[in-house]
């Protein structure tokens, strides 16, 4: 599972302008085949160069939905056996097996990929919640165990990622064998980090997954703050801080996605005067409390967890993001063409403002901007009147 550099026509490791994101959530809970997402992501293949691609699916393990699904990758069988011993000491293993995969032309030096379905040992929690216990074990493995990595650890979800183009990674993991109500996907041009299997996107912790286009120039500040709260950044990617920040803000501190978006992409100070007095108080409190988690630099991200998906880009919209909706399905993508490709009859499309979160939730119709609804209503009236 060594670092791999190939198909880079620019001859360097620092390319700023690409990465492709795609996500969908069916708010009715209906599951969609992973092949649809593969088709959408492959439509943006030029945004990657074979140094990383991946998929996160939710609702893919309905028969084992009560257990934590650990997707793991190891450099060899010896490292996997060491990981196996550790997991059996700290969890009840309900089921484990290799993650189904196949040989794919162009996939170089793949790791050993294995999945476990686990329940924490009650006597081991030591007063912690199950989630905090799982986080602690994931941090321990990823920071101390040579050649072994836990890439996702949530219930009824899993991350499938590696070094390759989107079609190659999808074929390697047989992504079209899975059905989920929520998917996110990523094809990658590395910016500041090498291409390697564990560092590909999505990046996950518990049931969080994050895909990211851009560069987090505040990474050092973000990382130091998160490490003060027991998160260890070990995976050689700036996206790692996004996943940990999501867990810290929304799970541990109970912020809504809307509030978390205000932390990561806060309103500029000189824009505050245009907000209501109440909103100004909220924004100031957020900036004062969570200043180290403001994400500086150009970025567009999709953050997902069970039952929820959020698209967000930086405050001045330096990375592209398009949104679309049809019936119960919300789409977020780096390019509108990818949405049109798999949903030719899309009803609504729009471009979110910089720092504006687009949030889809199970049981709630996709959030269509009011101005767009009014425009469609006006157009329908004109058509009806001839």
- Which tokens is 178 given? 């899975």
User: Backbone dihedral region of 40: left (phi > 0), alpha (psi from -120 to 50 degrees) or beta?
Assistant: alpha
Catalytic residue, candidates 19, 42, 74, 233: 19
19 is catalytic: yes
- Residues constituting the chain: 386
83-96 mean pLDDT: 97
Q: Which domains does the chain have, with CATH numbers?
A: 20-384 (3.60.20.10)
Structure token digits, residue 128: 């912690």
How far is residue 220 CA from its own chain's centroid? 20
State yes or no: cis peptide before 375, omega within 30 of 0. Answer: no
pLDDT in tens, 113-145: 999 999 998 889 999 999 999 999 999 999 999
Half-sphere exposure (CA, 13 Å, Cβ side) for 144?
9
What pLDDT was estimated at residue 248? 97
Give CA–CA dist 25/245, Å, rounded: 22
Residue-level pLDDT at 3:
38
Residue 10 tokens, joined? 């620019």
How confident is the model at residue 231, as a pLDDT? 93
Digit-coded pLDDT (tens) for 271-281? 888 889 999 99
Q: What is the pLDDT of residues 5-46, one digit of tens each?
A: 444 454 555 555 578 999 999 999 999 999 999 999 999 988
pTM listed for this prediction: 0.92
Confidence of residue 49 (pLDDT cuts 50, 70, 90): confident
Query: How many H helices and E strands in the chain?
Result: 10, 18
Angle between helical axes of 257-264 and 277-290 (0-180°, round to 10): 70
């Amino acid at each position: 599972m060594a670092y791999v550099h190939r198909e880079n026509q620019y001859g360097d490791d620092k390319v700023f302008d690409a990465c492709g994101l795609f996500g969908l959530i069916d708010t009715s809970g209906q599951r969609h085949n992973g092949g649809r997402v593969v088709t959408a992501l492959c439509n943006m293949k030029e945004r990657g160069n074979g140094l990383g691609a991946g998929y996160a699916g939710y609702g893919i393990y309905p028969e084992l939905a009560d257990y934590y699904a650990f997707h793991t990758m190891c450099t060899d069988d010896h490292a996997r056996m060491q990981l196996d011993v550790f997991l059996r000491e700290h969890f009840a293993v309900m089921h484990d097996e290799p993650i189904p995969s196949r040989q794919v032309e162009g996939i170089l030096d793949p790791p050993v990929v294995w999945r476990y379905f686990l329940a924490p040992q009650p006597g081991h929690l030591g007063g912690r919640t199950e989630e905090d216990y799982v986080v602690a074990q994931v941090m321990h493995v990823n920071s101390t165990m040579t050649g072994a990595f836990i890439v996702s650890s949530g219930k009824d979800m899993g991350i499938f990622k590696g070094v390759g183009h989107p079609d190659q990674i999808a074929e390697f993991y047989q992504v079209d064998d899975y059905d989920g109500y929520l998917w996110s996907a990523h094809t990658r041009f590395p910016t500041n980090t090498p291409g390697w299997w564990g560092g590909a996107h999505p990046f996950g912790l518990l049931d969080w997954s994050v895909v990211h286009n851009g560069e987090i120039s505040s990474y050092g500040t973000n990382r130091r703050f998160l490490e003060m709260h027991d998160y260890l950044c070990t995976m050689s990617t700036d996206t790692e801080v996004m996943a940990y920040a999501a867990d810290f803000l929304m799970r541990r501190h109970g912020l809504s996605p809307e509030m978390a978006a205000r932390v990561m992409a806060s309103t500029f100070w000189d824009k505050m005067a245009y907000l209501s007095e109440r909103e100004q108080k909220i924004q100031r409190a957020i900036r004062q409390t969570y200043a180290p988690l403001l994400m500086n630099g150009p970025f567009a991200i999709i953050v997902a967890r069970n039952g929820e998906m959020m698209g967000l880009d930086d405050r001045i919209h330096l990375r592209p993001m398009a949104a679309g909706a049809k019936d119960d399905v919300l789409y977020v993508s780096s390019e509108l063409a990818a949405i049109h490709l798999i949903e030719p009859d899309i009803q609504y499309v729009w471009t979110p403002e910089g720092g504006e979160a687009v949030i889809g939730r199970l049981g709630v119709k996709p959030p269509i901007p009011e101005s767009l609804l009014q425009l469609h209503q006006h157009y329908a009236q004109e058509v009806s009147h001839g």
